[in-house]
Structure 1
Amino acid sequence: MKRLLPAPWLSLALWLLWLLLNQSLSLGNLLLGALLGFIAPVLSAPLRPLPVKIGKPWVMLKLLLRVMADSVMSNLAVFRSVWTSQRHPPRSAFVKVPLDLHDANGLAVLSMITTLVPGTVWSELALDRSVLLMHVFDLDDEARFIEHFKRSYERPLMEIFQ
């Protein structure tokens, strides 16, 4: 069954998304959406990382709320920095963050978080997954930034994925 339908939730989501985008429950759309929901996960199965074993749902919820709050605060900080850039130019820098998180799924989530939070960009990951090179739009204190990044994002992801 797993070979025939490797990701049932993904299949269902693709089928529903197809129906929503087409805004039609015609027989053709129902069948085409089901076919898409069946074929896409089968073809993309080799691309998926290892199966995810998620633990501690409360940590996930706290991390989600933290990312949302940091995203809003970072948006405001980047806006303020751009607005006042002639008087106080931003201090952009590349920061090397040592990583303790080595799980592929956790690193994928970490990369999405750094992309979502304005002012930070995931630039490079060392081959041994020990160091992350990030670009920070406006950096006051590198050590404080690294400590905040590890405490706010890496540690919760380690609890969830490792």
Structure 2
Amino acid sequence: MITPKEIREKSFNVVPIGYSRKAVRAFLEEVADQLKELVRENHQLKDELARKEKEIQELQEEARAFREALRRLDEFAETIKAQAEAEAKKIVERAEAEAEALEKDIERLWRLREKIRLDLRALLISYLEHLEERLERDKAPSRGDAPADSRAAEGPTD
């Protein structure tokens, strides 16, 4: 690549018929100035491109870090979800076991209630039969019109 300095220092052989040295020199100066500006602009653009590439690289690294963080969050969420489901399953199983135990207790209590009811009924029937027998004995005439109960004949015991 030709530099602005080389353009400025370029010399041409002088010939009798040719171009004006002053015009050629002015043109070469103008070309050299423009080339110098283009080179400066090219360096600026290269620097800016390097900065942008660095920014892109940093953004790509951040994006990778975010993706990794999201992946980890997804894994964590799945772990939490699995733990919650396992805990919920345990709670349901305990509740079902307690419900089954309560149903058995209720059934046992109903059977016990029925047994107590039947036992009480039998006891009451037995007392009623005993009272009826006693009433029958008390109604039956005894010898000499003596009271059937010897305690009744004795009178009050106060």
Q: State the TM-score, normalizing by the size of structure 1.
A: 0.20
The answer to which structure has the higher helix fraction is: 2
Q: Which has the larger radius of gyration?
A: 2
RCO higher in structure (CA 8 A, sep ≥6): 1
Compute the TM-score of the two structures, normalised by the length of structure 2.
0.21
